Amino acid sequence: MAVPLLDVNAQNHPLEPELTAAFTRVLRSGRFILGEEVEAFEGECAALIGVGHAVSMSSGTDALLAALMAAGIGPGDEVLCPAFTFFATAGCIARTGATPVFCDVCPDTFNMDVTSAAARLTARTRAIVPVHLFGQAAGMDAIGTFAAANKLQVIEDVAQSIGATYRGRRCGALGEMGCFSFFPSKNLGGFGDGGLVTTDDAELAEKLRRIRNHGMHPRYYHASVGANFRMDALQCALLRVKLRHLDAYTAGRVANANDYIERISTLPGVMQAGDGPGGLSERVVVPRADAQMGHVWNQFTLRIPGAGRRDVLKSHLTTRGIGCEIYYPVALHQQECFRHLPAHAIQDCPVSEALTGEVLSIPVYPELAAGQRDEVVAAIRDWLIA
Ligand SMILES: *Cc1c(COP(=O)(O)O)cnc(C)c1O
């Protein structure tokens, strides 16, 4: 039996009657831009995250861009972000005209290393964008303390971590703004592109609403330049159906991840992240959910140290019909488009660079069946003992 990395149909098809009803409701309303469905979805998201305001956007990327614009980030400013994340985190910073300054990450969590961020602070630094990568919160206490001491705005990239918590608080409620994505592969996967910005600040929320609608206020008057960052009413209506199931989806991911951890970490030559330095015999490192974090497992990412070994496991799994992917093969400070940045923005990030050669994500989506997990574990075991 083939095991795909992700199976969106397994999640969406059971909801077909509800989704069809939502589609029909919007179709009959004739209201396709902003309006009731959008406001209802935003209200439900604000309640979920525990913030005063949620402003939907056309994508997670546009959510990040709009948040940076609302924060007043622009040319001459520097913004700290991790080197090991999806491109959009840094791409949006660059698009405001500001300079992304890349920081290294922690090898056990894949998340931003605040000591690296502190070392790259300058008089121009205005904001920091921690990413809650793969479903787990970044170290927000240390990041918050560092940001407050240096008057930096904190814009969380929560694209991969809707529903995740940090010491009991929801990601997206920990900084000035939180940016979410509803790209189909995210934990709340939509039917196309969608995004959202959360904030407790009413003034920022109002700015965000104007930015997503050409900076217009009142109608046909533009005191500032915005864009069309609106999310479709249809998309909001469909996602309202799935939002009611988010806790169940998360529970499925957590159960799958715990099952993997239990069964893979006991195989020969495997250690769990954080269990000391390990030894040369450790050929696979299994991720760990920090006890303080509510990990939502957007990805279950193994590390396979040793030159070329990750690629060997990847082809072994592929041969066995098991979907797997490298998130991410190139660290952002080494991307061609950032080569022209000042040297201090693209300093070495040794952990990020090493991770690009070691990481491999395996299927963890909620609908993954027990028999499919058995196949994944068996394939890894066979590779380890071969
Ligand atoms: C997916 C993702 C984004 C961008 O979201 P889109 O909705 O695809 O534009 C931003 N940051 C991270 C970390 C992501 O994983």
CATH number of the domain that 30 lies in? Answer: 3.40.640.10
Residue 208 CB coordination number (10 Å): 28
For ligand 1, the distance from its centroid to the CA atom of residue 70, given in whole angstroms, is 18
Q: Report the alpha-carbon distance of residue 75 to residue 84 in Å, rounded.
A: 24
Q: pLDDT per residue over 65-101, tens digit each?
A: 999 999 999 999 999 999 999 999 999 999 999 999 9
Closest atom, ligand 1, to C-alpha of 298: 15
Nearest CA, atom 14, ligand 1: 159
At 159 the pLDDT is 98
Q: What does pTM read for this prediction?
A: 0.98
Q: Report the alpha-carbon distance of residue 175 to residue 90 in Å, rounded.
A: 18
> Do 206 and 332 fall within a single domain?
no
Closest atom, ligand 1, to C-alpha of 89: 11
At 278 the pLDDT is 59
| Domain-terminating residue out of 243, 275, 301 | 243
At 279 the pLDDT is 58
* Ligand 1 pocket, mutate which of 89, 92, 155, 229 (most atoms under 8 A from CB): 89
> Do 261 and 359 fall within a single domain?
yes
Structural domain that includes position 42? 8-243
CATH number of the domain that 379 lies in? Answer: 3.90.1150.10
**Range of weakest confidence among 159-168, 212-221, 235-244, 271-280:** 271-280
Going by C-alpha positions, the residue among 66, 251, 209, 89 that lies closest to residue 158 is: 89
Q: Report the alpha-carbon distance of residue 200 to residue 173 in Å, rounded.
A: 8
> Do 267 and 367 fall within a single domain?
yes
At 290 the pLDDT is 84
At 274 the pLDDT is 84
Q: pLDDT per residue over 8-23, tens digit each?
A: 999 999 999 999 999 9
Q: Please provide the average confidence, as pLDDT, over all residues in the chain.
A: 96
Q: pLDDT per residue over 260-314, tens digit each?
A: 999 999 999 999 998 866 555 668 999 999 888 999 999 999 999 999 999 999 9
Q: Please count the residues of the chain.
A: 386
> Do 232 and 266 fall within a single domain?
no
| Domain-terminating residue out of 205, 224, 243 | 243
> Do 66 and 36 fall within a single domain?
yes
Is pLDDT of 160 > 90?
yes
> Do 259 and 276 fall within a single domain?
yes
Q: What is the mean pLDDT of residues 356-370?
A: 98
- The owner of tokens 């589609």 is 23
Domain assignment present for residue 1? The answer is no
What percentage of the chain reaches a pLDDT higher than 90? 95
> Do 238 and 279 fall within a single domain?
no
* Domains identified in the chain, total number: 2
At 283 the pLDDT is 86
